[in-house]
Each structure stands twice: as structure tokens, then as C-alpha cells.
Amino acid sequence: MAFTLEPGQKAPDFKLPATDGQEYSLKDFNSYPWLVVFFTCNHCPYVLGSDEETRKTAEKYASQGVKFLGVNSNSQNTYAEDSFEHMVERMKQHQFPWLYLRDESQEAATAYGALRTPHFFVFNKTRNLVYTGRGVDSPRDAGRMTENTLDIVLDALVSGKKPPVEKTNPIGCNVKWDGKDAHWMPADACDLV
């Protein structure tokens, strides 16, 4: 079995605290036709370099039933900046248009097969995966972006079309797994394409 969810597979459930003080699971988003779950963090230069593009995409599709959920699964033992307290500060400072969830146990990252930060997973109304991979093709420096893959996928979906691509390789730092070297990847983790 592949480490990362494959197109067509169901979204794994979760129960995670968010920076707004609430706890959320998959059913809390049943009213949304589309759900974008993306693995992110507080410190990665690829996240910092592309957050504003992710913001634009989230805001563009919010009125069309697309809900974004950011999940930070990074171990704060590897990077102290990835603590929940720093997540709260980051959301206060930037006011991102998504919920920011903490996956302290890293169970969500394992269930989804998150490879990097950022790594995007787009699900349809029945919560089957329709796209996984990168947001943009130059996340560290969005000014050099030539393609916003996530925007292309969402534009097709909200227009009732099949997305032109189902998977791309996410571009970013690897997830920081607790108790492991900062560059460690699970043995069964591999490129998506």
C-alpha cells in the first residue's frame, strides 16, 4: 500500500484542536462540497514563501463551497517554532482564511501520508480524494511561480469538470517526525509521480 492517499480514497477522520479554541473532526465540514486539507507549519520557507498564494486561492473559492483546513503535524521537539502556542500567534498575526489544526500525535499526517510542508489534499463532497500534491510550482519564492496547480484543480472542480491532474509531487520541507532526524522520511514514503 502506498504511504500517501491515492486519488479515489476516502479522507481519514480526525479529531484535532484548532487555534480558535475549538476541536474539529471531518463531520464538522459536511456542508462543504469541497474540502482542502493541507499539511503546513510555522517555520518552513516553502510554507512562508507561498502562504499568500494559498490565501488568495482559499479566498477565491470560499464562496464556491471550498473549505481549507491547515494541519500542523511537525514535532515541536524538532522545531520549537511549530508549537501550538506559536500557531496561535501566527494566526493572530496573519489572519489566514482557514482553520489551523494541531496534529500533536502525528496520526493525521500518517493517515493522509503527508510528505512535505506544504502538501495539499483536495476532497469532493463524498470525501474521496480528487487531487494531492503541490499548491504552486515555486512555493519557496512565489514570485517565480509559473503555475498555481491548486487553483487550476479547484477551478475545474467548481466548474463541474474533471481536474487536468490528480497528483503532483509536493514541494517543500519534509514533515518533522517526532524523535527522528529533521530530514527523516518514513521508509514507504515516495514521490507521487
- Judge whether 58 lies within some domain: yes
Task: Give the span between the Cα atoms of 126 and 46, in whole angstroms.
Answer: 30
Write down the pLDDT at residue 187.
82
Write down the pLDDT at residue 1.
54
Other C-beta atoms closer than 10 Å to the C-beta of 92 total: 9
Can you give the residue range of the structural domain that contains 169? 18-174
Count up the domains in the chain and report the number.
1
Write down the pLDDT at residue 14.
98
Other C-beta atoms closer than 10 Å to the C-beta of 64 total: 13
- Judge whether 159 lies within some domain: yes
User: Which single residue is written with the C-alpha cell 466548474?
Assistant: 159
Q: Which residues contact 187 (CB under 8 A, 6 or more apart)?
A: none
- Judge whether 105 lies within some domain: yes
- Judge whether 193 lies within some domain: no
- Judge whether 185 lies within some domain: no
The domain spanning residue 141 has which CATH number? Answer: 3.40.30.10
Q: Which residues contact 29 (CB under 8 A, 6 or more apart)?
A: 35, 67, 69
- Judge whether 81 lies within some domain: yes
- Judge whether 10 lies within some domain: no
Write down the pLDDT at residue 189.
83
Write down the pLDDT at residue 118.
98
SS3 110: helix
Task: Give the span between the Cα atoms of 132 and 138, in whole angstroms.
Answer: 16
User: pLDDT below 70 — which residues of the chain?
Assistant: 1
- Judge whether 155 lies within some domain: yes
In angstroms, what CA-CA distances link 7 with 92, 154, 159, 166?
34, 15, 19, 7
Task: Give the span between the Cα atoms of 2 and 43, in whole angstroms.
Answer: 28
